[in-house]
Each structure stands twice: as C-alpha cells, then as structure tokens.
Structure 1
Amino acid sequence: MSTTPPVLAAELAQAWADIQRHHPELPDLAAPESLIGESSSACGHELSFERLLHEAVHGIAAARGIRDTSRAGRYHNRRFLAIAEELGLDHPEEPHPSSGFSLVTLKPDAKRRYRPTIDRLQRALKAHDAAVASDTAGTFRGPAARHGSSGGGVRVKAVCDCGRNVRVVPSVLAQAPIVCGGCGKPFRIPEPEPLAAVG
C-alpha cells in the first residue's frame, strides 16, 4: 500500500497551519485526510490550495458564528464572500444562481504570499495522484465506476439490509465499507432496476 496519502495529509495540515499564521482565528483542521479523494460540488474545486483556502473561509465563518451558506450548504452568500476577500480570494462576477459566490479564485497578492505553500502542496498532490493511478491500474473500482462518479461530491443512496439508508459519494464507499450501527452490516449501493420491456 502506498504511503502517499499520509504524506499528503501532512502537507494539507502544514498548508492549513500556513493559513493560520496569517489568520489566527482559523480553527485547527481536524481531519485533513477527509479532503483527499473527494472534491466538493458545492465548493466547485478539485483539491488544491485554492480549495483549502475556500474551506478556511468556512472555518473562520464558523469560528465567528456567521452563517455563510444556505440551501444545505450549496449557496455561498455575501458573508462568505466578505471573509473570502479577507483571505485573498475573489469572485469578480455576479453570484451563480445555485451556488452563489462559491467559485472564488486566488488574488495575485495571495498567490505571492502563499507561493512556497502552493508549490509544496502541488508537488504532494501530483505524487498522490501518481500513486493512486498506479495503485488502481487494472483493479476493480467498485460502485464508483458503475455509477459514473469521479468522487466529485455527487452522493447516491446506499442501503443496508435492515432498511436504513445514507447518502454517500460512491468513490468513498468503494474505499472501505461503511457499516450500519443498527444491524452491523455494510451499506451498499443498490443495483439499478432493470427497465421494463416495452410493447
């Protein structure tokens, strides 16, 4: 098994600490590995320093008790944008109808400030992607492949034998079983129902 994911988690934690040096009120990142392998469709970014800074905006909003999103976290409001601007992010256009100001980008001064951090994290991400590609080459990818998910935050219903269900990103479920606390059996993505014959 590759040792790259722990290395990437450490690099994410270090990058977060670099952001905290400029913004001390930012809470600690509890689980950097939770960002690996799953981008957020609401945030609209693959894993990158820009995405990490976006998540830091949410962290500062939480620390300040500010509600920065609505619509189950999809719509990023002007309070989100105000904090994003403090952290060196910009949204030069009008808000998106469904995601608001979620697609923020790094301002030039933030790129300069964080250049060593950005470069270090990009190297770790490239190494992680290469390791994942070699680890999964020629292997069965599980439910993610059947349902066409790239791990981009699209959740589907997974069920267990006792009738409970959860919404989960297929690629996350493919990594390891998620076990039901009620019956102790793993959740699974049900096979699609066959189409009824016409005619």
Structure 2
Amino acid sequence: MSTTPPVLAAELALAWSDIQRHHPELPDLAAPESLIGESSSACGTELSFERLLHEAVHGIAAARGIRDTSRAGRYHNRRFLAIADELGLDHAEEPHPSSGFSLVVLRPETRRLYRPTIDRLAKALRAHTAATATDTSKSFRGPAARHGSSGGGVRVKAVCGCGRNVRVVPSVLAQAPIVCGACKEPFRIPEAAGAA
C-alpha cells in the first residue's frame, strides 16, 4: 500500500515523457507528486491524462515565456487556448467568466494517439485510489502551489458520502456541485469543524 504513490508518480512521469516525444519543447516534470491529491479548480478537479495534457500546455507556455493565465492562475487566456490547440485539446467557443478557457477536452484523434498511455495511467490511478481510499490522513500539495496562490480564497475541506475529501474554495463549491467519482455524491463542507 505504501508503494502506490511512487508507482503513480512514476506513471505520471512516464506519461509526461510520452507527451514530450510529440512535443519536445515541453520541460521535464520536476515533481509528479505535485499533481496527486489536492487540485486547482481552474486546472481540473480530477487527475487524468486529459488533465496532465492541460498541465503540459502550461509547461510549454512557461518554456516559451508566455503568460497563459491571469487572476492568480485561475483565468486561462487565448494564449493558453492556442497552445492547447497545438496539443490536441478542444475547448468551448466562449470563455468561462472566471476560468476562461481552462475546460479543455481531448480530441478523438488525440485520444487515439495516446491510447496506450491513457490506459496505463488510468490503471495506475485506479490502484492509487483503491490504496488510499481508506487512508484520509494523506495530504498532497497540488497545482495551486505552482501558481503561488490558493486561487482566490482559503481552501477548506469538503467531504462526500463515502468519506473522500477535497480542498476547495467555498465560492467555487457554491457555483456548482463537485461530485465524487466513486459514490456520485456531491462534496459538502461540514457544518462544524470538530476535527483539528
């Protein structure tokens, strides 16, 4: 059980290398562990290959010296969108009022190109989820650390029906429910913070 995080980190690094084969200017992933656990609502709330490709867009923007976000990393601008297009990601026609063009999805041809990588990473993610589902004491730092900000507010713990938890800014949770992929219940902020 204790070996799962290093295995997942290794799979993330391997998937990143697969992206680098198609986009050589993408810098190395310094800390794969930073993508596990807590997530930035602007960059995606669930770890997947699609989110990894989203993070690769940020990596290429950084390598090119392009400012692809504003508002402490929450708003993804048209420069982000242009690089996302290069990496095979589709997007909505109009930007979201608070996160811009952050909601990108894999094109079918991109999904075909990376199918073995997607399958391998999904298997590692399932194993990681199974190994850590009963251990709620684990806490990881995620993409918010990259932006040097909590993303516009103090993050608090929200819990779903099966006991999994995420850190979220209350105003983000108020915009729309965030639903647990395991139990399909929405995450809610506990009324009384009894636990320290």
TM-score (ref. length: structure 1):
0.70
Q: Which blocks of at least 5 consecutive residues in structure 1 are unaligned?
A: 156-190, 193-199
Q: Please state if 1:37 is matched with 2:47.
A: no
Amino acid at match of 1:118: I
2:157–2:166 Cα contact (<8 Å) kept: no
- Any idea what the Cα deviations from partners look like across 1:106-158, whole Å, max 9, x if unmatched? 0011000000000000000000000001444xx799xxxx8426334549xxx
Misfit runs of 4+, over 2 Å = 146-155
Q: What is aligned with 2:158? A: 148
Residues 18/140 of structure 1: CA separation in 2 closer, same or farther (3 Å cut): closer
1:74–1:98 Cα contact (<8 Å) kept: yes
Q: Per chain length, whose mean CA-contact separation is higher, i.e. which structure has more relative contact order (CA < 8 Å, sep 6+)?
A: 2
Shift of 1:44: 2.5
Q: Please state if 1:80 is matched with 2:95.
A: no
Q: Which has the larger radius of gyration?
A: 1
1:45–1:103 Cα contact (<8 Å) kept: no
Q: What is aligned with 1:4? A: 4
Q: Which blocks of at least 5 consecutive residues in structure 2 are unaligned?
A: 140-155, 160-164, 171-191
Amino acid at match of 2:119: D
SS state of the match for residue 158, structure 2? Answer: coil
The 5 A counterparts of 1:28-177 are: 28-136=28-136, 147-148=157-158, 150-154=165-169
Shift of 1:71: 0.8
1:77–1:100 Cα contact (<8 Å) kept: yes
Residues 127/41 of structure 1: CA separation in 2 closer, same or farther (3 Å cut): same
Q: What percentage of aligned pairs have identical amino acids?
A: 79
Equivalenced residue count is 151
SS state of the match for residue 148, structure 1? Answer: strand
2:38–2:167 Cα contact (<8 Å) kept: yes
TM-score (ref. length: structure 2):
0.71
Matches of 2:68 and 2:89, distance apart in 1? 15
What's the RMSD between the two structures over aligned residues?
Answer: 2.3
Shift of 1:43: 1.0
Residues 133/105 of structure 1: CA separation in 2 closer, same or farther (3 Å cut): same
Matches of 1:153 and 1:19, distance apart in 2? 29
Matches of 1:115 and 1:5, distance apart in 2? 23
1:57–1:83 Cα contact (<8 Å) kept: yes
2:57–2:83 Cα contact (<8 Å) kept: yes
